[in-house]
Amino acid sequence: MAMAYERPPQVGRILPGFAIIGWRWISRHPAMVIGPVLVPFIFLYFLRLISPPQDFPLQVIGAMLFTTQNIGSWVLGDSATYRLEAYLEELFIASPVTRLQYMIGLSLSNLIAAVPALVVLAIVLALVTPVPWYAWPVLIAVILLLWVLVSAIGMAVSTRIRSRRVVWPVGSLVFTVLGMLSPLYYPLSVLPPAWQTVTRFFPATYAALLVQGTVGVPGTVSSNLWVDAGLLGLFTTVGTAVALSFYQWRDR
């Protein structure tokens, strides 16, 4: 009897289930899409008023990366709710689904909510500045890397949360810090040199530099894009590994 179950009895693809969970969430709560589409534009308008106009293309790219970062806080919220309130996470722990698959599943279901905003912003970007063809694949790759990293951070932070009450303050703190203090919305060059060094520890910095450099928007610091790409990859790998090692998949 026992032998019959030596291998997992079911093998197949896990993501379609999570994709449905994500799709249903936005199809039943349209504000889930309207919010992410609207908010970057509100923010871009604000930026346009208070900062030099030539920074605008850079800020559109910033808005795309910032929207991607926000997926992290949504993942954090979902993960905390499913664990603390619904005990749904237990259904997935006690199953063939691994920690990594669960994380990818939740982040996939949240990526779906961000896609409309990303598409609209991409169109705006193409309208405000000439984008070379090879910049698009780079942009997509950077967004995907950032998505993996912030999802992992969101999952890891959610593990440490014991009450749903703190999901919002903690989530917005983590992702506001990551978003505002990395040069997403302003050229790195406006920062004092010491501070520029500090931002080198934020992964979104490399994402921003890489995309800004590839698209060739005004105001970018000339630097070696290959180094930026390498560091972004390194940050994502190490960051995801560290975050996952924090993510508790069984209570203590």
Partner 1 sequence: MAEDALWARDVQKRYERRGTQPVDALRGVSLSIRPGERVGLLGRNGAGKTTFLRIASTLLWPTSGEVRVFGHDIVNHPEEGRPLIAVVPQDGKPFMHLTPYEQVYTYLRTRGFDRATSKQRTTEVLGQMGLTEVADRLNLALSGGLRQRVMVATVIATEAPLLFLDEPTIGMDPFARREVWECLRRLSKKGSTLLLTTHYLDEAEQLSDRLYIIDRGRVLVEGSPEGLKAQIGGTIRVSLKGGMRLKETLATFGTVATDGLDVHVILGPDRVEEVLQLALREKLSATVGPVSLEEAFLRVVGRSIDDES
Partner 2 sequence: MAFSFVDRYTWGYTVTQLRVQLHDFNVVIAPILIQGVLLIFVYILNPALITYALIGALVYSMFQMGQRVQNEAAYIRVDSKLPELYLPGPLTPEGYFVGMSLGILGSNVGTFAVLAGILEWTHPLSALAWLVLAAVLFAVFLFTVSLGYFVSTLFEDDRAIQPYATIITNLFGVLPPVFYPLSLLPTYWGPLALVLPTSAAAALVEAAEGGLVSISSGGIALAAISLTLEALALFLFTLAWARRSARER
Helix (H) or strand (E) holding 61: helix 56-84
The DSSP call for residue 197 is H
Residue 201 as a binder of partner 2 (CB under 8 A): the answer is: no
Contacts with partner 1 by CB under 8 A lie at: 1-2, 5, 7-14, 16-18, 20-21, 24-25, 28-29, 85-88, 90-98, 101, 105, 250-252
Both tokens of residue 244?
């996952």
Which partner from the list partner 1, partner 2, none does 77 bind, CB cut-off 5 to 8 Å by kind?
partner 2
Interface residue with partner 2, options 17, 24, 27, 29 (CB under 8 A): 29
- C-beta separation of 25 from 86 below 8 A: no
What mask of x and - would describe binding to partner 2 in positions 143 to 182, judged by CB under 8 A?
A: --------------------xxxx-xxx-xx--xx--xx-
- Sign of the dihedral defined by the CA atoms of residues 218, 231, 43, 186, in that order: negative
Please tell me the count of residues contacting partner 2 according to CB under 8 A.
37
Pair 60, 139: CB distance under 8 Å = no
In eight-state DSSP terms, residue 132 is -
Q: Within 61-80, which residues bind partner 2 (CB under 8 A)?
A: 77-78
CA distance 15 to 105: 6
Give the closest residue to 112 by CA, choosing from 80, 75, 84.
75
Binding site for partner 2 (CB under 8 A): 29, 31-32, 34-36, 38-39, 42-43, 45-47, 49-51, 77-78, 81, 85, 163-166, 168-170, 172-173, 176-177, 180-181, 185-186, 190-191
